[in-house]
Amino acid sequence: MSNSELSSKYETVIGLEVHIQLKTNRKVFAPENFTFGSPPNQHVSPVSMAHPGALPSPNLKCIEHIVKLGLAIGCEIAPNSYFARKNYFYPDLPKGYQLSQDTLPVVGEGEMDIYVDGKVKKSIQIERIHLEEDAGKSIHDIHPSQSLIDLNRAGVGLAELVTKPDLRSAQEAGAFLAEIRRIVRYLQISDGNMEEGSLRCDANVSVMPKGSDTYGTRVEIKNINSISQVIKAITYESGRQMKAVDRGEALVQETRTWDVSKGKTAPMRDKETADDYRYFPEPDLQPIKISEAKIEEIKAEIPRLPQSRFLQYVEEYKIAKNEAQTLADQREFSDYFEALIPFTDSPKTAANWVLGPVRTWLNEHNKDISKFPIKEKKLGDLSQLVKSGKVNLNAAKEIIFPRLCENPKENPETIAQENDLIMESAENELQDAMEALIEKFPAEVKKYRGGKKNLAGFFVGQLMRQFKGKANPKEVNEVVRKLLDS
């Protein structure tokens, strides 16, 4: 059976477990900080190495971050929650247990909207978001016969967000992750960088006959490190399961790894169950209590989120969806766009400037908007010069804009004057010039009047050349036709 036949017969069910590395100045229970890419074992302390007698001390910033995320998504916040030990033995986990949360996480249930392909809206139930510490890293590919351990990452604070099995396609899973990444970046609680591991995702995948209400056996896929790979891994795995189920084979619940180079998932281990971890409350840490006042304080710090901005740009400003998406994608970029609007004649004009010359400049200089030199008001002044017909758009983009980027203190109109770019909009000047041309090219005039209407372009070209791009093309066209047709 072909893939498309299979996917018309079966449905894919996906639940995601997303790990978000929290950006703070120290690990979640240990005093030292961690930066990606440091030499191994530079960011360790007796706490993260689990020396006897070393005690954890919670980083309250991590708790605030996770509450902020929960509030932004619209989840319940637990006024009381506690830490638990999740016991397992692995060389990169010195304590022999991970500090995590079990039955009572800081953030409880909620619901988040996603837009698949920027279009179809879907609500995804969130099961929980809990706080936990990261493990270190085992490195198997440096030494020929030994595994090496790097504990830099051990103890770094993570938010683990778990969805209900509500996603129904690889594309929906991709859209969900992209939304989470946008939100954590807006909230400035994480870099959200999948390549550097500050955003990681395990995908639980199962298949069932279309229309069924009983989920199939699920497989958990680990080690996926970009959104495009998440989409590929889920697509591969659901195809594999559909084929197996269609042949009548029983699937086993297991953990599989995603092999990027082969483009396949492969068995890793049998799935642990909660019992295997022997969770129990952490005796060295107090329960987490969060007051109403604290929740209000954190709520007040949440900026307007990308989805609400996106919807406003599309619905109110009538900006195309893909452009609205680009504008809303990054908080600082979107802030700049919004601040520019009042200085221009319309949100569309502001969007054109930001998505055009501004974005091109940022790409060429490999900078983000926080390093963009022109203040909103000044760029607004430039756009108004164009709007009022004093300068043509091309001259504004190609000559004045780059000059402003180099000398952001200069005045756009002064630059226009210095470069002789102020348009001679006086209609009679154009008319005089056109009358002279009519005398100069009688044969062309005759042909035009005899029906060769495209000769108007010849006169427009002559005039534009004469006025060296300072004339407004629309006005030139009008004058040419008016005089030729009279």
Give the binding site for ligand ADP (CB under 6 A): 13-17, 162-165, 204-206, 215, 218, 274
Which of residues 25 and 123 has its CB atom nearest to ligand ADP in the complex?
123
How far apart, in whole angstroms, are the C-alpha atoms of residue 23 and residue 35?
Answer: 10
Taking the least distance from each CB to ligand ADP, the nearer of 36 and 90 is 90
Least separation, in Å, of the C-beta of 282 and ligand ADP? 19
Contact 225, 196 (CB under 8 A): no
What per-residue string of b and e applies to 407-417 under the rule 16 or more CB within 10 Å gives b? eeeeebbebbe
Structure tokens at 183: 């939100």
Q: What is the DSSP letter of 311?
A: H
Nearest distance from C-beta of residue 268 to ligand ADP, angstroms? 15
**How far is it, in rounded angstroms, from Cα 334 to Cα 326?**
9
The DSSP element (H or E) to which 407 belongs, if any, is none
CB of 165 vs ligand ADP, minimal distance in Å:
4
Q: Which is nearer to ligand ADP, 270 or 420 (CB)?
A: 270
* Nearer residue to ligand ADP within complex by CB, 15 or 110: 15
Instruction: Return the HEC string of 333-397.
Output: HHHHHHHHHHHCCCHHHHHHHHHHHHHHHHHHHCCCHHHCCCCHHHHHHHHHHHHCCCCCHHHHH
Residue nearest to ligand ADP (CB): 15
Hey, what amino acid is at 128? R
Shortest distance (Å) from residue 127 CB to ligand ADP:
6
Greatest Cα-to-Cα distance within the chain, rounded to the nearest angstrom: 102
The answer to whether the beta carbons of residues 30 and 64 sit under 8 Å apart is: no
Report in angstroms how near the CB of residue 213 gets to ligand ADP at its nearest: 12
Query: Minimum Å distance from CB 209 to ligand ADP?
Result: 13
- At 179 the three-state DSSP class reads helix
* Adjacent-strand bridge partners of 201: 18, 224
Nearer to ligand ADP, 17 or 323 (CB): 17
Report d(CA 179, CA 339) in Å as an integer.
23
Measured from the CB of residue 272, what is the shortest distance to ligand ADP in angstroms? 8
243 vs 387, which CB is nearer to ligand ADP? 243
CB 95 to ligand ADP: min, Å: 21
CB 16 within 8 A of CB 177: yes
- Least Cα distance to 456 among 433, 481, 473, 436 occurs for 481
Hey, what's the torsion of the CAs at 328, 330, 332, 334, to 10 degrees?
-10
Rounded least distance, CB 365 to ligand ADP, Å: 41
